[in-house]
Structure 1
Amino acid sequence: MDETSAGPGAVRLVHDADRDRYEALDGDEVVAVLAHGDEDVPAADGEAPGLRVRDLRSTVVAPDRSGTGIGSAIVRFALDDIRGQGMVARPTCWFVRGWIERHPEYADLLESPAHPRDEEAR
């Protein structure tokens, strides 16, 4: 399980790969979750080998923690993890999409139009 802290006295951020999710923990209490799914996208003719895509599906923050920055912290943690693994991201979650729009330094992680989700098999 990958782990980091989101600042002094703040939550711990972890990647629970067995459960396909990132978590923000306050002690043993889960206060936020970012669910994901992984997919291999085959290469198109003449392209480099296929990509591993992490679909960021849903972000949920405990209501009493809303507005405290935990959602942003867990998205940044997930995207940094994706970058570190050489993967690309598909932000199907509206919160993640909006966060990336406000942080263009992460736009290079987005799945390219050459590998769209619903593309017909060639």
Structure 2
Amino acid sequence: MSLTVTHEPDTDRYAVYDGDELQGWIVYDRVDGTVRLLHAEVPPLMRNKGVGGEVVRAILDELRATTTDRVQPVCGFVVMWMRRHPEYADLTTR
């Protein structure tokens, strides 16, 4: 499995693909310089395979590299993932 994460701003989401097949996504919005990660979705057959984490990591790495926006994890999965990866704590809203 070779995963690619793509930012799809027209649909306010980051999506992960294996080839041409959609494997999951995270929906977001932007409010006053904050990117709110609202909802993660991964099909049941792809869960517990690292797909969701790949999307979160890609989003946070892109935000760190390209903007000064802060991150507000709203989705429970994203909150949990970020707690397990404190190296991204500097990106969250205070």
TM-score, normalised to structure 1, is 0.73
Measure how far apart 1:31 and its partner are.
0.8
Size of the aligned set, in residue pairs, is 93
> What 5-or-longer segments of structure 1 have no aligned partner?
1-8, 41-51, 113-122
* Counterpart amino acid of residue 92 in structure 2: L
What root-mean-square deviation, in Å, do the aligned CA atoms of Structure 1 and Structure 2 show? 0.9
Alignment of 1:4-43 (within 5 A): 9-40=1-32
Equivalent residue number for residue 102 of structure 1: 84
Question: Identity, % of aligned pairs?
Answer: 35
Aligned to 2:40: 59
Larger radius of gyration: 1
TM-score of the superposition, structure 2-length normalised? 0.93
Question: Shift of the alpha carbon at 1:53?
Answer: 0.3
Correspondences of 1:68-87 after superposition (within 5 Å): 68-84=49-65, 85-87=67-69
Counterpart AA for 1:14? T
Alignment partners' CA distance in 2, 1:96 and 1:105: 14
Q: CA deviation at 1:81?
A: 1.5
1:58 to partner: Cα distance: 0.5
- Structure 1 residue 27 displacement after superposition: 2.0
Q: Give secondary structure in 2 for the equivalent of 1:35.
A: strand
Partner of 1:4: none
